[in-house]
Amino acid sequence: GEDVEQSLFLSVREGDSSVINCTYTDSSSTYLYWYKQEPGAGLQLLTYIFSNMDMKQDQRLTVLLNKKDKHLSLRIADTQTGDSAIYFCAESIRGYGGSQGNLIFGKGTKLSVKP
């Protein structure tokens, strides 16, 4: 079945780069997403990548997609303490044509940024 896996924790120092990794199973996923959840808050869409792209850059965020290995990563450059949050990788559910609302989420990676 469809599944999204990601490591549960990542700790980095302020100013370093953070790399959060994710693997997914459904090769027919049209879009892959990264969401951020801060304590007590909802989910915020950070970025997404269309499945025919290898890379997408948006300011401090770089998404890399290796479709052959079904591996997605999110790199945050110059990580700040305000980046501390849980980051979720998600893929669109098979059969829903890439709808950005019908998603399968990973369990989330808790990023801790030490000053």
Partner 1 sequence: DSGVTQTPKHLITATGQRVTLRCSPRSGDLSVYWYQQSLDQGLQFLIQYYNGEERAKGNILERFSAQQFPDLHSELNLSSLELGDSALYFCASSVAGTGTEAFFGQGTRLTVV
Q: Shortest Cβ distance from residue 101 to partner 1 (Å)?
A: 4
- Determine contact, residues 25/93, Cβ cutoff 8 Å: no
Q: What whole-number distance in Å separates Cα of residue 78 and Cα of residue 14?
A: 7
With residues binned 3-state (H G I as helix, E B as strand, rest as coil), the percentages for the chain, rounded to 5, are: 5, 55, 45
**C-beta closer to partner 1: residue 74 or 79:** 74
Contacting partner 1 (CB under 8 A), which of 85, 103, 111, 113? 103
In the complex with partner 1, the residue whose CB is nearer, 49 or 103, is 103
Binder of partner 1 out of 23, 51, 105, 110 (CB under 8 A): 105
* Residue choice 80, 107, 112, 114 for contact with partner 1 (CB under 8 A): 107
Closest by CA to 22, choosing from 112, 92, 99, 107, is 107
